[in-house]
Copies of this chain bind each other. A is one copy, B any other.
């Protein structure tokens, strides 16, 4: 088995503003270590998968920054989309270019900006899922056992075991983000979170795309090799031809060929500054990155990208300092930062800082 990571890195997260900006989205931020999250994402796969085998799909304007962040991924395997068309066209592209990679090739579609630990548990699950994907010629989704009735994620309803003795099960149904009561029922019923992580043999995925998303399947046919000199224009034609649709909606929810493997690693999509509170807390339950001078501060996330953050007598705050902006808000309202950024867009003074 040879694993080919396909990292989706086209996001434009605003929830980590002011650290995240249009030209520096979450996957490029050093949120969990001193390097960009996408670099952590690839490092976590070693030695199971080599960077030389990885593909990264991002936005065209982010291409240079992404290449710099993951220098071990061959430049021609970092693909800049001329327009964002959701995940299906990106996954199809990777499947297309991996179609000749040999009978033991398995693609693993992975987000670029989530927290996953421990890394060895992830690698064990990926290896197991890849084995199942090859053996059963299936698309194998990693399902995360929920820790609480989250309304912000999709759920996977599991069916019977894929085979006697296997941990994988059939996918009975994908369930959209639920309301609170429904989420509670899902958790009780043993549904799993859909974290957007799935593995497949490239030919299997291509076949599914041809059946369930024929427009994308047709558009793929004209595409040259990624090293071709006219790749840029070919990509423009491809992205102009395909619909904007998620891989979940285009393929996963329609195929009868999906299995789910319950994950045995810890996972968090790091949806806001508040989510950092879980990582390397110090004694007072603070999570600190950069230079900070704290006196009687507890339960807070302090991130100084630039200069010093000095705080005194505060609780459960997010304090972020960049070269041009300081953000202060309660941890429990960190998800509203997005709305603040929206508002800032309309203010000529602040809009330069987005």
Binding site for B on A (CB under 8 A): 18, 291, 293, 295, 304, 306-314, 317, 319, 321, 323-330, 333, 336-337, 339-340, 343-344, 347, 349-350, 353
Cα(A313)–Cα(B339), bound, Å:
12
Residue of chain B at shortest CB distance from A17: B310
Q: Which residues of B contact A339 (CB under 8 A)?
A: 295
Query: For the complex formed by this chain, how many copies does it contain in all?
Result: 2
Q: Is the CB of A321 within 8 A of B329?
A: no
Known contacts A307-B323, A350-B308, A353-B308; is A313 also within 8 Å of B295 by CB? Answer: no
A336 touches B308 (CB 8 A): no
Q: Is A313 a contact of B325 with CB atoms below 8 Å?
A: no
Compute how far the CA of A291 lies from the CA of B324 in the bound complex, rounded to whole angstroms.
11
Q: How far apart sit A326 and B306, CA to CA, in the bound complex (Å)?
A: 10
Minimum CB–CB distance for A205 against chain B, Å: 42
Chain B residues in 8 Å Cβ range of A347 = 293
User: Contact: B313 with A18, CB < 8 Å?
Assistant: no
**Contact across chains for A295 and B328 when beta carbons are under 8 A apart:** no
In the complex, which of the residues B291, B330, B343 contacts A293, with contact meaning CB atoms closer than 8 Å? B343
A227 CB to nearest B CB, Å: 44
Q: In the complex where A307-B323, A340-B293, A343-B295 touch, is A329 in contact with B313 (Cβ < 8 A)? A: yes
5 residue pairs of the A-B complex, CB under 8 angstroms, read A291-B350, A293-B347, A308-B325, A308-B350, A321-B326
Residues of B within 8 A of A323 (CB): 307
CB distance from A16 to the nearest CB of B (A): 13
Given A310-B18, A349-B291, A350-B293, residue A328 in contact with residue B336 (CB < 8 A): no
Determine whether the beta carbon of B18 is less than 8 Å from that of A336: no
Question: CB-CB < 8 A to A327: which residues of B?
Answer: 310-312
Contact yes or no, A330 B314, CB < 8 A: yes
Is A328 a contact of B333 with CB atoms below 8 Å?
no
Q: Provided the pairs A291-B350, A295-B336 are in contact, do residues A319 and B330 lie with their beta carbons within 8 angstroms?
A: no
Top 8 nearest A-B pairs (CB, nearest first) are A312-B329, A307-B324, A313-B333, A311-B328, A326-B326, A321-B326, A308-B325, A310-B327
